Amino acid sequence: MQRLGPDRAVKNEWLWKGMELLGIDVFNIGGNDVGELQALGLALRKNGRFISANLLSAQSGDPLLDPYLIKTMSASASAPAFRVGFIGFASGNHSSKSEAEYRWENPSDSAGKWLPELREKCDYVIALACMPLGDAIQLAIDHKGIDMILNGFEHQSAMPPIKVSRSTIVYAEDEAKSLGELRFSLKLGRPAVQPLNHRLSRRVADDADMAAFMVKAKADISARQTEMALQTAQAHGHEHDHAHGHSHGSHQDHADSDFVTSQTCGTCHADAFQVWEGSAHAHAIDILIRERKEFDTQCVICHVTGSGQPGGFEDLYRTAHLANVQCEACHGQGREHSQQPTVVKMEPLGPNSCVTCHNPSNSPEFEFVSYWEAIKH
How many residues in total does the chain contain?
Answer: 377
- Distances 26 to 135, 142, 147, 361 between C-alpha atoms, Å: 22, 24, 17, 27
- Neighbouring residues of 201: CB distance < 8 A, sequence distance ≥ 6: none
CB of 260 to ligand HEC, least distance (A): 5
- State how beta strands 124-130 and 148-151 pair: parallel
Residue closest to 338 by CA, chosen among 330, 327, 349, 329: 327
Please identify, using beta-carbon distances, which residue of 17 and 377 lies nearer to ligand HEC: 377
Q: Is position 164 an interface residue for ligand HEC (rule: CB under 6 A)?
A: no
Applying CB under 6 A, among 74, 310, 345, 360 the residue interacting with ligand HEC is 345
The answer to whether the beta carbons of residues 14 and 232 sit under 8 Å apart is: no
Taking the least distance from each CB to ligand HEC, the nearer of 254 and 331 is 331
Using rule CB under 6 A, residue 374 touches ligand HEC: yes
Decide if residue 289 touches ligand HEC (CB under 6 A). no
Residues from 28 through 57 that contact ligand HEC (CB under 6 A): none
Contacting ligand HEC within 248-267 (CB under 6 A): 260, 262, 264-267
| By CB under 6 A, residue 325 contacts ligand HEC | yes
Of the listed pieces 3-11, 59-67, 83-91, 365-373, which binds ligand HEC according to CB under 6 A?
365-373
Closer by beta carbon to ligand HEC, 40 or else 287: 287
Residues 324/284, Cβ–Cβ less than 8 Å: yes
φ/ψ region of 235 (left if φ > 0, alpha if ψ in -120 to 50, else beta) reads alpha
CB of 145 to ligand HEC, least distance (A): 38
Torsion 15-16-18-19 (CA) sign: positive
How many whole angstroms separate alpha carbon 117 and alpha carbon 140?
Answer: 17
User: CB of 285: closest distance to ligand HEC in angstroms?
Assistant: 8
Confirm or reject binding of residue 2 to ligand HEC (CB under 6 A).
no
Residue 104 binds to ligand HEC (criterion: CB under 6 A): no
What are the φ and ψ backbone dihedral angles of 47, each rounded to 5 degrees? -140, 15
The amino acid at 133: L
Q: Alpha-carbon distance 158 to 177, whole Å?
A: 9
Under the binding rule (CB under 6 A), the answer on residue 205 touching ligand HEC is no
CB within 8 A of 350, min separation 6: which ones? none
Decide: is 312 part of the binding site for ligand HEC (CB under 6 A): no
User: Which residues contact ligand HEC (rule: CB under 6 A)?
Assistant: 1, 260, 262, 264-269, 272-273, 276, 280-281, 283-284, 287-288, 291, 293, 296, 298-299, 301-303, 325, 327-331, 334, 337-338, 341-342, 345-346, 348-349, 353-354, 356-359, 362-363, 365-366, 371-372, 374-375, 377
